């Protein structure tokens, strides 16, 4: 598992070196039923000031990849079996636990999905944010408090000086997420990771939190990994996209490329299964079947049991596709990616609506 050569974004296509390079990462978990291949040969890169959207169904390996980056995989039962995670020239997998703790919260910060379970309920929000500063910087508590108040003001928390002494239960869901973004910004990290940061929020608050996240990126010029199920969030926030399925990267490209001209049937399935409020759809086209078992992936292409494009072709069932290089920072793990324009046209005919900006 994970030993095949992977398509990796070409540094020559950019004027700057990547901030983060994940190379052929393999993360596994031993269970009573067998070994779960949660991340299987994943490679991608993030550049300074760039937002990389990572999308896919639950169980596709999105969150396990970033937990591997942060060194938060429980060992046992988990283990990182292969790969490199290069942050600003340093392989995080070669660091000791103590050295990695110095990286977390300073060079890399994470905004978790549920801020209520990420914040300590018996400590004030301000004290928790101040601790994030005091752990990494030699400053007084008064200086830390002043900086926390400034951070809370920056992310739009009203009456920040009074809010400093309040507890998480006294914050609304949106305010708690703003506080988590402020905590992530506290030490001006090089890399921000946001794992489903708006899942539990209503649409209005979601939009506000995304604005705050965008402001945080601009304030620090950090690279951002944005993990989400919501392709609308990806369209609004991301510069490039990685699509994951069955623990592997199945497509990469810019937001325009992914939305305008998908080159993998799974990506097309995600796009065509979404309701489109701007179009009168005759019907949605769901992706048939269920995500694969990560203990026992299907032979050949992991997506072939659910794939209309494969049409039962033996190559899809027997030969695992490489991540084909389709251009600078553009790839597809599909043997028949050149047929995707026709596939897009068929979906458009079935639904009565165009895939966003499609070339077909």
Residue 114's SS3 state is coil
Hey, what are 301's tokens?
């292409």
Q: What are the pLDDT digits (tens) for 12-32? A: 445 678 999 999 999 999 988
Choice between 36 and 5, residue whose per-residue pLDDT is larger: 36
Residue 358 phi, psi (nearest 5): -65, 150
* DSSP 8-state code for residue 168: G
Q: What is the mean pLDDT of the chain?
A: 84
Closest CA to 109 of 241, 233, 222: 222
Q: Are 224 and 50 in contact (CB under 8 A)?
A: yes
CATH for 1-107+189-360 (3.40.50.450, 2.40.50.140, 3.20.10.10, 3.40.50.300): 3.40.50.300
- Burial of 360 by CB count in 10 Å (0-12 exposed, 13-18 middle, 19+ buried)? middle
Average pLDDT over every residue of 239-258: 94
pTM of the predicted structure, to 2 decimals: 0.85
pLDDT score at 240: 95
Regarding beta strands 240-245 and 223-227, do their DSSP bridges make them parallel or antiparallel, or are they unpaired? unpaired
Does residue 157 contact residue 74 with C-beta atoms inside 8 Å?
no
Share above pLDDT 90 across residues of the chain, in percent, rounded to a whole number: 34
The backbone torsions φ and ψ at residue 186, rounded to the nearest 5 degrees and listed phi first, read -50, -40
């Amino acid at each position: 598992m994970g030993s095949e050569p992977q398509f990796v974004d070409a540094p020559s296509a950019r004027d700057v070196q990547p901030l983060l390079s994940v190379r052929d990462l393999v993360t596994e978990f031993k269970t009573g039923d067998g070994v779960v291949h949660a991340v299987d040969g994943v490679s991608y890169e993030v550049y300074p000031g760039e937002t990389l959207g990572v999308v896919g169904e639950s169980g596709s390996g999105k969150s396990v990849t970033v937990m591997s980056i942060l060194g938060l995989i429980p060992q046992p039962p988990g283990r990182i079996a292969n790969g490199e995670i290069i942050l600003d020239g340093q392989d995080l997998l070669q660091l000791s636990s103590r050295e990695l703790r110095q990286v977390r919260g300073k060079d890399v910060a994470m905004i978790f999905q549920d801020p209520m379970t990420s914040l300590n309920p018996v400590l004030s929000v301000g004290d928790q944010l101040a601790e994030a500063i005091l752990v990494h910087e030699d400053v007084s508590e008064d200086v830390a408090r002043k900086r926390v108040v400034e951070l809370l003001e920056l992310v739009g928390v009203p009456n920040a000086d009074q809010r400093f002494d309040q507890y998480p239960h006294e914050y609304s869901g949106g305010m708690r997420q703003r506080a988590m973004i402020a905590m992530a910004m506290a030490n001006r990290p090089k890399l921000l990771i946001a794992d489903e940061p708006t899942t539990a929020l209503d649409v209005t608050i979601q939009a506000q939190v995304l604005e705050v996240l965008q402001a945080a990126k601009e304030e620090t010029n950090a690279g951002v990994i944005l993990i989400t199920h919501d392709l609308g969030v990806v369209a609004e926030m991301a510069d490039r996209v990685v699509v994951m399925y069955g623990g592997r990267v199945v497509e990469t490209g810019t937001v325009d490329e992914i939305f305008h001209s998908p080159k993998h049937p799974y990506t097309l399935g995600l796009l065509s299964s979404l309701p489109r409020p701007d179009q009168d759809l005759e019907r949605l086209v769901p992706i048939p079947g269920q995500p694969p078992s990560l203990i026992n992936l299907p032979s050949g292409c992991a997506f072939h049991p659910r794939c209309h494009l494969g049409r039962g072709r033996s190559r899809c069932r027997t030969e695992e596709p490489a991540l084909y290089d389709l251009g600078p920072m553009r790839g597809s793990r599909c043997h028949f990616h050149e047929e995707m324009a026709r596939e897009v046209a068929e979906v458009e005919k079935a639904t009565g609506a165009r895939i966003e900006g499609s070339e077909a």
